[in-house]
Structure 1
Amino acid sequence: MGREFVEIFDEWVHTYDESVNGNDEEYRDVFLKYNEILQAVAEAAIGPVIEFGVGTGNLAEKLLEQGFQVVGIEPNQAMRQVTAQKMPNLTVIDGDFLEFETPISAQSFVSSYAFHHLTDAEKARAFQIYAEKLPSGGKVIFADTVFDTEQSKQEMIAFEQARGHFNLVEDLNREYYTTIPKLKELIIKAGFTVNLSKMNNYVFLIEATKI
């Protein structure tokens, strides 16, 4: 993930689970159906699995429940510590979407609520890396915020501004939320087929399969 955002998660680490469980009104729509979204990622994966941005371990937990061998990649030290306490048997190593070790022969790369930390150019480079590391039929399954168009993104920002959700508006303006056409283009160019399924008003399940 974009390393410029790593320190933000020093603040999020203590409140993240509360937010994703719907206890933060400002982010409630973003995390609507959170557990269903994570379950959809886990059910779409094939193992072994590498997870980017493992955070507090919520997706990793569901992947382990599915019986997968899992390695977590997490650039934030505080998040790694939280996950180590929750799941001491899970291997979590320092890394990000672009620079990471592959201690297992992954069949899937997965992530939730993190790919937007990369610019479109970085997203394109990431999928080129995944294409090199995955076998034919290997999968990338990301759940992340994507907008239909740039106009719809600006309309959502205006909507949240009117609701007084100023922290969310700051996030939407600061980070690199892309559009469906741009995302599909870069994924296909890297040698994948791709399908997007809308999970809530913000989040899509992005399922890409290497040709």
Structure 2
Amino acid sequence: MGKEFIELFEEWADSYDDSVTGHDIEYKAVFLNYETILTQVAKRSFGQVLEFGPGTGNLTEKLLSYGLTVTAVEPSSSMRKIAIEKLQNRANVIDGDFMNFPESNYQTIVSTYAFHHLTDQEKSEAVASYGKLLASGGKIVFADTMYESVEAYKEAIADATEKGFHNLAEDLQREYYTTIPVLKEILETNGFSVSFEQMNDFVWIMEGAKL
């Protein structure tokens, strides 16, 4: 589940923090309002938090600043190493992925810039498992690139290509970006009420509350 991208995660590890702070022109729009996105995810979280794909630990750090207890599950050994050094043992950063994690009494499940590494079928399987894990009132709060329609997704690829952003265009076609209607159906089918808030031209926050 997303393991096919491990090599890519390893390559990104050393440059990831530069990219999210706007130093990579191709991805500047993707990471626009990055700090606000992290803050919004953290503010919507409560209790014991399970974080998927922490990368270099930026959201983890934000969650900790809100006094939350965090278990962060990261499949990339290089990303994990950076996160562990950054967080100084203030969070439990472990190997795993969206479907391989230690079960516990979590109240919130969070992720940023990672859920698109799963196919729509894998997304559905993952959310089904979270629906069984979370009690009523528990939350899923994911910030990720998603689109209002398939047409909007195709337009994003065409726009990146026209601008000469070939790495971005390649990423948009290689990874499993999906649409808001698909995600809405997945969450509602598994017992969540769901809302979406747009944070930039690429990223939306998807917040699901267990009914």
Tell me the TM-score normalized by structure 1: 0.98
Aligned length: 210
Identity of aligned residues (%): 50
- Which residue of 2 is the match for residue 195 of structure 1? 195
Aligned residues: CA RMSD: 0.8
For residue 98 of structure 1, report the CA deviation from its aligned partner: 1.3
Residues 125-167 of structure 1 deviation map (CA, whole Å, 9 limit, x = unaligned): 1110001111110000000001011111111100110100000
CA shift, 1:7, in A, is: 1.3
For residue 19 of structure 1, report the CA deviation from its aligned partner.
Answer: 0.4
Unaligned segments of structure 1, at least 5 residues:
none
Q: Distance in 2 between matches of 1:67 and 1:138?
A: 18
* Deviation of 1:88 (Å): 2.2
Flag structure 2 segments of 5+ consecutive residues without an equivalent. none
Give the secondary-structure state (helix, strand or coil) at the position aligned to 1:6.
helix
2:10 match: 10
Q: Residue in 2 aligned with 1:76?
A: 76
Aligned to 1:98: 99
SS state of the match for residue 193, structure 1? strand
For 1:210 and 1:121, locate their aligned partners in 2 and report how far apart those are by CA, in whole Å: 20
Given the alignment of the two structures, is residue 35 of structure 1 paired with residue 32 of structure 2, yes or no? no
In the other structure, the counterpart of 2:140 is 140
Look up the match of 1:23. Answer: 23
Which residue in the other structure is 2:163 paired with?
A: 163
Normalising by structure 2, we get a TM-score of 0.98
**Structure 1 segments of 4+ aligned residues over 2 angstroms from their partners:** none
Amino acid paired to 1:100: F
Is the partner of 1:70 in helix, strand or coil? strand
- Determine whether 1:58 maps to 2:58: yes
Aligned equivalents of 1:149 and 1:163: distance in 2? 21
The one-character-per-residue Cα deviations of 1:86-132 (angstroms, maximum 9, x if unpaired) are 11212111111112113x42100000000000011111111100011
